[in-house]
Structure 1
Amino acid sequence: MTQRRVVVLGYHAAELLDISCVTSSLIMANLHGAVPLYDVCLATPSGLPITCASGLTLQGQQALEHVTGPLDTLVVSGGIGHEDAAASQVIVGHVRRLARESRRVASVCTGAAVLAAAGLLAGRRATTHWKYGYVLATRHPEITVDAEPIFIRDGNVATAAGVTSALDLTLAFIEEDHGAPLAREVARYLVAYLQRPGNQAQMSMFTESPPPSDSLVKRVVDHITGHLDGDLTTASLAADAGVSERHLTRLFLRHLGQSPGRFVRRARTEAAAHLLVSTSLPMAAIASRCGFGTTESLRQNFLNRYGIPPSRYRLTKTMR
């Protein structure tokens, strides 16, 4: 191919940012020297205009039914219309067809539901918007759903989390295709402070949804966040709550979408992140206060959650 053909699929009530983060970033790469150029097209059912979730209307550039390969990249957008899109035999059938003719396939946000309906995520690890992770996992047990990372690559299939994570995924594609210097140049032009690694968490427990409605889960969560340096094993938490480990885990998965152990690691890591930028405490003191025991344990958990070591995190945040 003399150009990298990229088709972005839009449909009624798709999220405009899911589409524009991809298209604008790739066109920006063209303007800053991408060779070969990206040939970007918005495909819609029957080529008709779509009304996005924001109420704005986008004109389709090509009918989805008429798109043929080979393609470099197929991107399925998300949005509040994703359930109707995933239930559409026309949309799902053409996504399945085009995936066979594409070098790589991706979804943004709840667009993962369309890929799942097309069978393209079976046996793979995938992400989606944090609010819909449980739904995707419940409806498609054949998928290993991890609703924490910003994006996940599994073979030639990539799934990105909510909305602006499309920018992070597209920057990663540009770096893969043309090298890090061009990706950084595009990020700078878009005034993106930092190209986040895919395994960075989507959101913080300190800014997410209200506490769980289940009183037992809320009580355990309050205990965890107030005793980060204590014994927070699942066995200990279950004993304190007067339930079995299995029952506690089931409640956490139902109400929080994650196991008690994972919630504890997340709470400790995010508390450490807060201390790194709000205090001058040494690493050992932060590790002890947050229940990690050793600085190496802190470092490993930080890498798993944020994709960078705690020392670099402190440096980048305090330089803002």
Structure 2
Amino acid sequence: MRRRIVIVVFPGFQLLDMAGPADVFSTADLIARGRGYRVEVAAVQAGAVSAHNGLAVVAGALGEVTGSIDTLLVAGGLSVPRQLEDRALVEAISGLAARADRVASVCNGAFLLAEAGLLGRRRATTHWLAADDLRRRYADVEVDPDPLYIEDGNVWTSAGVLSGVDLALALVARDHGHELARDVARGLVVYLHRPGGQSQFSAPMRAMTPRSLPLRELQGYIDANPAADLSVPALARRVGMSERHFSRVFTEQTGLSPGRYVERSRADAARRLLEVTGHPLETVARESGLGTPESLYRVFRRHWRVSPGEHRRRFQSKEK
């Protein structure tokens, strides 16, 4: 039986927040030969609804959505602060949520869920830029700005924009199994389904871009050579600094100590190796610079919140 997905939009919504999940669900339905999902788009008023980028979609009226709903998904967008004042929108979300098996949001669509009273005493995420504001506005929401998406009961929230694709793939995996989610990801040529606990930031994204050209080049060297000697003495020599001066300047200009940056970069390398190779864990640990399977397991759990074996089982493509 096809599952019913209702995606809520409004003037000024982020098009990718709607289009990304919609394509995931529709592709799953295609692969499952009509036994996957039926996607509907709805807004306060039926008709053309313009996204922030000027493109428009045709939506039905929220008030005319009848019957049960498998997943109610609320998009985000730059206009969300204004939409919080639209009582018709907020009340419609609240009413439809009562009839939905699952409720979800993309990006700052979480604000609309919170305004509708759906996130009270729940753990939730949103775009990292909006996390502090969500925490200030809704003190009863446990805001975690780090994960790509969070499941708390029947409510799912995701981080910024394209993390809505990760959330939708997770829902497909939950409904139909990881194999279909992998097939959808391959069909859409997107990054293979990532676990929700994975951070919104890779090691380079977490760090600020150094003002110093030698340090910028050093960041590239670290990311490209995880198995090299990346100790503080070795890195300091590469940029011609004393160890103490290098540690101080690197931390000041990137926001991360050399050791923390190196560990995060190696965790990224290990994740990529697990996803695109069939190497045993001993090889992954060695080539990512983490040394031993024990270190790989410990670092992987700390950064990605799943074990290396579980990550590979769930997210590696069968195509080599």
Question: Separation in 1 of the partners of 2:260 and 2:83?
Answer: 33
TM-score with structure 1 length normalisation?
A: 0.71
Change (3 A) 1:274 1:180: closer
Q: CA deviation at 1:286?
A: 5.2
Q: Give 2:67's match in structure 1, choosing from 66, 69, 83.
A: 69
Say how many residue pairs are matched.
266
Q: Contact 2:231–2:259 at 8 Å: present in 1 too?
A: no
Give deviations 1:195-246, integer Å, cap 9, x for gaps: 11111111135325858xxxxxxxxxxxxxx9989xxxxxxxxxxxxxxxxx
- Name the SS for the 2:204 alignment partner: coil
Q: What is the Cα deviation at residue 135 of structure 1? A: 1.0
Kindly provide the CA deviation profile for residues 149-207 of structure 1, in whole angstroms up to 9, marking residues without a partner as x: 11110000000111111111111111111122211111110012311111111113532
- Give the 5 Å matches for 1:62-141: 62-141=60-139
- Tell me the distance in 1 between the aligned counterparts of 2:120 and 2:258: 29
CA contact (8 A) 2:204 2:265 kept: no
Task: Say if 1:35 and 1:228 are closer, same or farther in 2 by CA, change over 3 A.
Answer: farther
For 1:82 and 1:286, locate their aligned partners in 2 and report how far apart those are by CA, in whole Å. 43
Partner of 2:195: 197
Q: For residue 10 of structure 1, what is the aligned residue in structure 2?
A: 9
Q: Which residue of 2 aligns with 1:272?
A: 266
Percent identity over the alignment?
36
Rate the CA distance shift 1:191–1:135 in 2: closer, same or farther, 3 A.
Answer: same
8 Å Cα contact 2:94/2:116 also seen in 1: yes
Letter paired with 1:5: R
What TM-score, normalized to structure 2? 0.71
**What amino acid is aligned across from residue 179 of structure 1 in structure 2?**
G
2:246 counterpart residue number = none
Q: What is the one-letter code of the residue matched to 1:113?
A: F
Q: Does the 8 Å CA contact 2:169/2:193 hold for their aligned counterparts?
A: yes
- What displacement does 1:13 show? 1.0
RMSD: 3.5
What is the 5 A alignment of 1:126-275?
126-204=124-202, 206-208=204-206, 210=208, 267=261, 269-273=263-267
How many angstroms apart in 1 are the aligned matches of 2:131 and 2:299?
Answer: 22
Q: CA deviation at 1:297?
A: 6.3
- In structure 2, runs of 5+ residues without a counterpart are 210-229, 234-254, 274-282
Query: Structure 1 residue 299: deviation in Å?
Result: 2.8
CA contact (8 A) 1:152 1:159 kept: yes
Cα 1:306–1:182, aligned 2, differ >3 Å: closer, same or farther? same
Indicate the residue corresponding to 1:238 in structure 2: none
Unaligned runs of 5+ in 1: 212-225, 230-255, 289-293
Kept in 2, the 8 Å contact 1:69–1:102? The answer is: no
Q: 1:139 deviation in Å?
A: 1.3
Please list the CA deviations of residues 101-133 of structure 1 after superposition, one character each: whole Å capped at 9, or x if unmatched: 000000000100000101101111111111111
Which deviations, in whole Å up to 9, do the C-alpha atoms of 1:270-292 show, x marking residues without a partner?
A: 143367689x9966x9569xxxx
Paired residue type of 2:16: L
Q: 1:35 to 1:150 in 2, by over 3 A?
A: same
CA gap of 1:104–1:275, structure 2 versus 1, over 3 A, is closer
